[in-house]
Structure 1
């Protein structure tokens, strides 16, 4: 048993060391290596925006009419913007390698976990038999199923929950990964790298937004370790999402110090930091939506506030229920001008809308005298209203309005 235990400990240590050393630099976007026709680049952007519109339509954010209108506007913009110029194109080999490692190592660790306590599994004859069997989707599901059953019998096994969360993450099952991380307890709360990973899967499960609970988890991670790489990278992304480019530069400069000087990863990050500083300087050190003086004054066109839920109906919702906050035109198309996705657990939720958050092919908040702001707890998991949803709304909100207090206090019939 001593040799078995030593083998397991050594294997676990090697997995952690390899992940820590390899994944961060491999995941960084490499510097531009060649040029392509700008028309092709615009087509790639066009396809991405089309997919985003289709996703919003599938989630109920856009109606059929809204989708048709948005596609038409996007096609018109594409015709206006395509020119035979060249723009940089980056290689993606590093991320492919990182993805391969991310998938292989945690799943291998999961397989190891499932056979802990079974010394016969280290028998050379059994090992040889196992290596001859190709692991496919059914085998992976079977391993995960066994792990889930073990955790049902021992729900206090925080290491098991973390392993399950990581396995779900590499399979792209982000909601299940976030749920597994929520059972990690003190193990997750005290580990900055796990907190950062938890924040990432929560954001992925909520449409990519780091606002709300993911941002809180990142703050906690950086309190424990101000130089945790993944937390610094994601904190910079969260700051960019809220248009605080001064914070973007600060977070990513700290991350830059941990990269090899002159490496492709370092050069890419240096460019990102320089761009963040440039945008911050253009805004006079203030985020968009704050009025300044002079010829380059920034119009106060953003709308911000906080969402809460009435105690009278709070019991009818669960912490994991999806929460959508919309800004819409009060007349005409019901296509949202801007959307924030979060979870009920993020309440009270601070929100902020501005023109940078306009949906592809959609109109901007600054183009309206007043808009309506609505918060909706989507019981069916889609932003489109359905019976049983909890919601609250405010009409006649002028662009530039601050400190709006939006209360979810109604139930959809």
Structure 2
């Protein structure tokens, strides 16, 4: 296994591109790791790079997920390329990509795979010192003619829209912007549409080689069903073939050709709506309230920029619904937010407590760190 350390700079990404191209051609498997990740050494040790790699593996995507337990997702050349081909088929064919997200995560990695498949060289946004709207606009201007694509997380899209000017012009110049890593709320989608940005919300994870459901519709070859308790299950050629050195967990997660996600969903005439993670459901007074449902209701309020909803222990209710809100300007009244949730999601979903914060803690590519939110509330 070849370990490639990347800091988000063009040189490191170039090294990863070369290693990935070899792996897709049958060469040594690649383990990309982030030099700036405090958990990188733990992930490196857990992946056992000195041991033989499981057959058919091109890339090992190391993740600690929401549980904090290191896992290495095993992706074959076939899974990576099936994902790239299906994505191109959905958004308009092979083209030129701007890499604007970390390449050690599957979303950024897929930008490199799609570029390799298209026979093009991606433009790399230098994120070694963080994500900047002006640098994004400059990088976008370097893309060749033809279909132009990029992949972002919603937080990046919001920053670009907030920046205005050249950043918004750059967004409008893409033929498609694939958004993953976190849910796209309706208000941000409308802002993007008004700015002329062609956004496509993607659902997927490392175990599916990236986004495999675009705008609720599975990509070609991908199948989706609901398992026990409305748990989303995914099948098709983009699936990983297991976890690094975890045969038992691999059989449990991928048995029978289906990957059992941790997400709850709803299917309406083949259209998938993801309701949130199963372990984010709050049992309050015997009523099960998905945190994502409350968050959507809060985000529909014009005074809310970001929101995270968690359940905290409560002697009366079992769990109490608590909302941490990042206001868009002056904080709205808590009772006003409670009324909005009551109208949209019903009385059991109304937060018993509303806290305001200047920002939400993040982990991974734009995902809110719920464990850190609970820590901040004194319930870690």
TM-score with structure 2 length normalisation? 0.32
Q: Larger % of helix: which?
A: 1
Q: Larger % of strand: which?
A: 2
TM-score with structure 1 length normalisation? 0.30
Larger radius of gyration: 1
